[in-house]
Structure 1
């Protein structure tokens, strides 16, 4: 294992267009659980690619088999200029590769990348039933801002969403009041 607790045969690298089918398959597998995302079907690659920030997309890859094991990517929370330092992210790990430190390594790489770019707030909305996702974020320094009750209509029922947030200890500190 390396310093992040990830097995040395797994590496984190920027997500590539060639990863499209694997990224979307992992996304769909997560959506199929009913607790990993708000959608029920993964988007097309064109829609996925167009919505995510290009500089903060990472993939976890098995160095031996070259299988894509997980990914992380972010979307801006708003197009308004005052929110340029705030993003919402998603992290997904292939079934069978979970609980091996892959999500932790992806999130760590993502945090370093966003801080280097001056992004000061990371947020994510997680269903309360997604205990693994909540633990992952808490271990990475995210705090629970609150629970949005009956916030989304998902699979024909109202669902609560836990809003998680991580403020950078360094990015954005040059702005007054932050």
Structure 2
């Protein structure tokens, strides 16, 4: 994976991005979702300028994208994000490179907080987020049911040292 490039996530990446999303859903520790959205719903929910793919020789290895937290003006500088890496590409710095690209784009756009909720069992994701400067805010206990079981979610945020 020496030729990995971070690029803007575009419609031509849709099939691979949604496939990686489905893989994360199927593994059971990435999201409460049970189905990946179609491209139109995915595209509508993600903020332009804050979505990227890691690509190696035309193959998408992972993606990151941010969504607005609220349309209330007080939250204009706060986004929530998701990052997914293909199972075969994990452990090679793909998630960190994607998070770094997201951090750069959000700071350039005046966004001061990136947040996420991660299942506590997803220790690899928690670790890469910590290395990227995210901190644990707390745990929402039994916040929702997933596959018939109550699940906790660890809340993380990264506050920009450049803004606010």
* TM > 0.5: yes
- Note the aligned Cα RMSD (angstroms): 0.8
1:144 to 130, 136, 139: 136
Aligned partners of 1:166, 1:38: CA distance in 2, in Å? Answer: 22
Query: Unaligned regions of 5+ residues in structure 2, if any?
Result: none
1:68 to 50, 56, 60: 60
Runs of 4+ with deviation above 2 angstroms: none
Q: Secondary structure at 1:54's aligned position in 2? A: coil
Matching residue of 1:20: 14
Instruction: Provide the aligned length of Structure 1 versus Structure 2.
Output: 164
User: Are 2:47 and 1:39 equivalent residues in the alignment?
Assistant: no
TM-score, structure 1 as length reference: 0.90
Aligned partners of 2:2, 2:55: CA distance in 1, in Å? Answer: 11
Matching residue of 2:157: 165
Q: Residue deviations 1:23-77, cap 9 Å, x none? A: 0000000111100111011001000000110110000000xx3100000001111
TM-score, structure 2 as length reference: 0.98
- Report the structure number with the largest CA radius of gyration: 1
Aligned partners of 1:8, 1:85: CA distance in 2, in Å? Answer: 34
